[in-house]
Amino acid sequence: MATQDELKQAAARAAAHKVQSGMVVGLGTGSTAAFAVSALAERMQTEGLKLIGVPTSVRTAEQARSLGIPLATLEEQPHLDMAIDGADEIEIGSLNLIKGAGGALLREKLVEASAAELIIIADASKKVTQLGTRFALPVEVVRFGWKATFARVEALGCTPVLRLDEKGDPYLTDEQHYILDCQFGPMADPAKLADQLKGTVGVVEHGLFIGMAKEAIIALQDGIETLVPTP
């Protein structure tokens, strides 16, 4: 029986094989995305694949650089051919996502909104029938007045928790913001909630990725399953 890491790696490899030479590729963040970065570097070495990566976090930039993947910023490469990333929850049918457990949701959304195609990679544990069933929704907020923002987000019907780092200090994103992990429970209308959060003063971004994923590559014990959004 394959381990969870082996499944993540299988999905990552399948996505990396979709990349063609000359592409500009958004490089996601997290343990599954890290396998995709490694698989791309391997293809560069073994097949001579050429690509430019646009990383979605400092962490991913460091990994890609250490593997010799040429990088560009989103300012330098504002139009990406593809982005490959993991997710915390993938809603079967819509392919709407919850992302951000790894803390990179803002840069991920910026990079992935600029990609012609967003490919999500995961093991089967990430599939849900309704978003909000397994993970709290990460909401990135500016530090200034964060308690007032906390109260506004709470009023939308959730229990927010300020994310802390391993030292017990507030977790800081790459853009130097805080994250509130918001337990909304199963979401009947995630698109409406996304709009409400976007309209909340102090909220910079949230981890709902609505209508963005073009494909999800899911690694199962007996092979790869490819999901596309149903109309």
Residue numbers of the site for ligand 5RP (CB under 6 A)? 28-33, 85-88, 99-105, 108
CB of 138 to ligand 5RP, least distance (A): 7
CA end-to-end span of the chain, whole Å? 34
Give the residue carrying structure tokens 């130097």. Answer: 176
Please state the residue numbers annotated as binding site for substrate: 29-32, 85-88, 99-102, 126
Rounded to an integer, what distance in angstroms lies between the CA atom of residue 37 and that of residue 33?
6
The residues, ordered by sequence, that sit 6+ positions from 5 with a Cβ below 8 Å of its Cβ are: 31, 35
CB of 162 to ligand 5RP, least distance (A): 17
Please state the residue numbers annotated as binding site: 29-32, 85-88, 99-102, 126
CB of 231 to ligand 5RP, least distance (A): 26
Rounded to an integer, what distance in angstroms lies between the CA atom of residue 31 and that of residue 72?
22
CA dihedral 166, 169, 173, 178 (to 10 degrees): 130
Catalytic status, residue 154: no
Q: Which is nearer to ligand 5RP, 91 or 108 (CB)?
A: 108
Which of the residues 108, 112, 140, 205 is marked catalytic?
Answer: 108
Rounded to an integer, what distance in angstroms lies between the CA atom of residue 36 and that of residue 42?
10
Active site residues: 108
